[in-house]
Amino acid sequence: MTTVLLTQALAYPGPWGPHAGGGPFWLIPLGFLLVLFGLLATGVWLVARNTRQRSSSERAKDVLAERYARGEISTEDYRERYDQL
């Protein structure tokens, strides 16, 4: 009995077999993969954008600190500009 059921299960061609009725069933997994790829690409883009913004802000603070250390700007100017960053 078990052997018969197993043989029938293995012989069944599945929804994409010749007796499935045709149709574009292959579009379903393709669409799923495209949506998954789009979500992954969006996530990578968001992380890259946030990292780039943080690094530019940190770089601006470093330049400001260097200008303050060289005496090009006063303490008041330094604090005001640092707060803006």
SS3 string, the chain, reads CHHHHHHHHHHCCCCCCCCCCCCCCCHHHHHHHHHHHHHHHHHHHHHHHHHHHHHHHHHHHHHHHHHHHHCCCCHHHHHHHHHHC
What was the pLDDT predicted at 25?
74
pLDDT tens digits along 31-53: 999 999 999 999 999 988 877 76
Q: Model confidence over 6-37: pLDDT tens digits?
A: 566 555 555 555 555 556 777 888 999 999 99
